[in-house]
A and B are shown apart, each in its own frame.
Chain A
Amino acid sequence: MTQMTFARAINSGLRKSLEHDPKVILMGEDIGTLGGVFRVTDGLQKDFGMHRVVDTPLAESGIMGTAVGLAYRGYRPVVEIQFDGFIYPAFDQIVCQVAKLHYRTQGHVKMPITIRVPFGGGIGSPEHHSESPEAYFTHTSGLRVVSPSSPQDAYTMIQQAISCDDPVLYFEPKRRYHDKGDVDETLDLGSALPLEKARVITEGRDVTLVAYGPLVKTARDAAIAAADEGVSIEVIDLRSLAPVDYAAVEASVRKTGRLVITHEAGQSGGVGAEVAASITERCFYYLEAAPVRVTGFDVPYPYSKLEMHHLPSLDRILDGVDRALGRPNSLSGLEG
């Protein structure tokens, strides 16, 4: 076990993949000499050369489109999108090409592309630097979408994503980059939890609280706080947003009868909506109350002095837990 930051854990995972497979190639803006604006790729170009760790022109569609060509040639490109809000120029290549080529070629051409996206808010950034665009991609068939929440998962999941033959969007919670945790760098990928499996972070009896990425820590803190009040929350780290490990969520909800989902992204058409609908379909008769979503608002990401109102906080999550439990909460007395 080694103590390291979240960012360093991804760096270490990338290094492992570069060592393990000569076809792995990193591409992105400022990822070479600079080591990335968050230093996630620090030192990799120096050690693997500019043929393997490629500083690209500032054109996200260009990066993604050339990654498609490299994948056609048998490479495994790992693309860094510098910030969440910069992914949109690449949207067409991701949705029309990366996601569909395996299907369109009837399985002849694989697109083992990993798209790393630092996402989410909480770091006081200017606009376009704090967004949570994951639902655009969970809605797109052909893609896998994951988000790690701990240094250990960051380390293993980046390697699993790279070795996966399907394209994977890998959303990195940028406000957790500096959080430290123990990482077992000897962990064998084969024995690690599979990429599409959720993980129960905290076991509980009363409410199932589903989170991913940056809010897993907040959710765990909420569970600790609630325990003081005698409320037992089961926290599930979704890890994979597409596909969602419904078996895990379902098993928990069958036990607790109550479901709260939280994410930074806006509510409409979000991952929470899909989880709420699917769990309702799958285990309606086990639910004691309607599922509750505690999410960012359906607003453009606000300027930094107001972002803490937008981001689900420990208190707001617990308010949602109270709603699920039918305890007094901020909406008590309101209908609908």
Chain B
Amino acid sequence: MLTDEVGQGGTPASGPGNNAGHRGGASQNLVQLITPQGERVSHPEYDPWVRDISDEQLGSLYEDMVVIRRIDTEATALQRQGELALWPPLLGQEASQIGSARTLREDDFVFSSYRDNGVAYCRGVDLTDIVRVWRGNASSGWDPYTVNLAVPQIIIGSQTLHATGYAMGIQNDGADSVAVAYFGDGATSEGDVNEAMVFAASFQAPVVFFCQNNHWAISEPVRLQSHIQIADRPAGFGIPSMRVDGNDVLAVMAATRVALDRARRGGGPTFIEAVTYRMGPHTTADDPTRYRDANELEDWAAKDPIRRVKALLERKGLMTEEFEAAVQRKADAVAREMRAGCIGMPEPEPLDIFKHVYSTPNSWLDRQQDHYSRYLASFGDHAGADSEEGGYSRYVASFGDPAGADSEEGAR
């Protein structure tokens, strides 16, 4: 928005990832700074962007990845134990989420999807709040303005437009923060993502499109979504793009810094394709053995994002027993806190369903709420009981006791 250059065509800043003139055909090389074996390889264009990352910071990135994998494992366990209704595992995508989210400033604003719980962790979302939605206790876990992270999006790709609009607002305000949209390979087929790129390019909005190509949209492989490499698409919109090894935390970090820097300097949007792999199911309700080959999973397990940083730290002599134990303690503590928060969450009240539909009084809804509270009150002492046998048992009981159906007394 809102610049006088609108319609003049984008003028992307120079630097890595500026391939706006790229015409497809020859695909982009994958940017990689750490090999799957843990070897730090140099890359003249991207090295400068992570030159400041100290050994200590590398260790901290490792810890973050271990912690969010632990969060993921714990949440999956909580689902298996019936404490969560559902959980969408991020297993395998730790480097993509940590490498990008740890690069953001506090005043940047993130629009993520349901699988980006590692991003939520980095933004400072309370651990209990991460699982609140998945326990069915709320429709969202946190106040977006306290962590500058929107509530995660389930409608695929929708949030790319929200990020673009937010970025237009940033531009209008004359700020130098950036809006970041997280989405997956499946989302790139959605009209909204393509419209977001049109708007972002036309208005040169300070937005980063961070696409985690995890190769699967439930059961559909990425080749069904795109006939060319995903990173080759943004060029058609006049948006520079980068294709990075999404299992390489340093490469992701470098690419994200390139994109953020461009956005902050008024250079407009950037698209990052982080090539990674969803090692788990789509959600705990999914069974990937029905549609994908076990060999594929093995191949990707060999490119595990955490193992390669561990190997790098070992090469550097930093993976001491003491360090490893400290990381493990941290991960376990986080898991314990999340579990306790999950199980200890207060149950919502029945009339909470009427809250916040509108921000101002609404005569229709007020009446429905009034009628439903009278209905609940009609159970007297039983109202508010929420066990399966008890509860609003006038009818529940009569199902099990036909004889009692005619008698209010009997049914209660």
Contacts and interface: CB of A to CB of B under 8 A. Distances in A.
B359 A73 contact: no
B192 A141 contact: no
B192 A61 contact: yes
Interface stretch (B52-60, B117-125, B156-164): B156-164
Interface stretch (B42-50, B350-358, B379-387): B350-358
B139 A50 contact: no
A56 interface: yes
A242 B155 CA distance: 25
A314 interface: no
Contact of B158 (A65, A104, A144, A166): A65
B198 A68 contact: no
Contacts of A101: 151
Interface stretch (B80-88, B91-99, B142-150): B142-150
Secondary structure of the B contact surface, majority rule: helix
A38 interface: no
A89 B158 CA distance: 13
Interface residues of B, number: 47
A103 B1 contact: no
Given A69-B167, A106-B356, A142-B357, A246 B363 contact: yes
Interface stretch (B168-176, B316-324, B399-407): B168-176
Given A57-B198, A59-B199, A61-B195, A142 B358 contact: yes
For A25, A72, A102, A245, the residue with the greatest tally of chain B CB atoms inside 10 Å of its CB is A72
A166 B198 contact: no
Contacts of B6: 50
A242 B198 CA distance: 34
Nearest to A55: B6
For B1, B145, B365, the residue with the greatest tally of chain A CB atoms inside 10 Å of its CB is B1
Interface string A82-107: 00000001001100110001111111
A165 B172 CA distance: 21
Given A69-B167, A73-B170, A108-B144, A243 B359 contact: no
A293 to B, nearest CB: 20
Nearest to B181: A69
Contacts of B166: 69-70, 72-73
A215 interface: no
A145 to B, nearest CB: 11
B362 A243 contact: yes
Interface in B1-28: 1-2, 4, 6
A75 interface: yes
Nearest to A246: B363
Contacts of A110: 359
B161 A196 contact: no
A92 B359 contact: no
Given A92-B155, A97-B155, A104-B140, A65 B161 contact: yes
A54 B163 CA distance: 18
Contacts of A65: 158, 160-162, 164-165, 192, 195-196
12 contacts: A51-B1, A54-B2, A56-B199, A62-B199, A66-B164, A69-B165, A73-B165, A96-B155, A106-B143, A141-B365, A242-B364, A243-B363
Given A65-B158, A73-B170, 7 more contacts: A57-B199, A67-B165, A103-B355, A103-B357, A105-B140, A242-B364, A243-B365
Interface of A: 25, 50-51, 54, 56-57, 59, 61-62, 64-75, 89, 92-93, 96-97, 101-110, 141-142, 144, 164-166, 196, 242-247
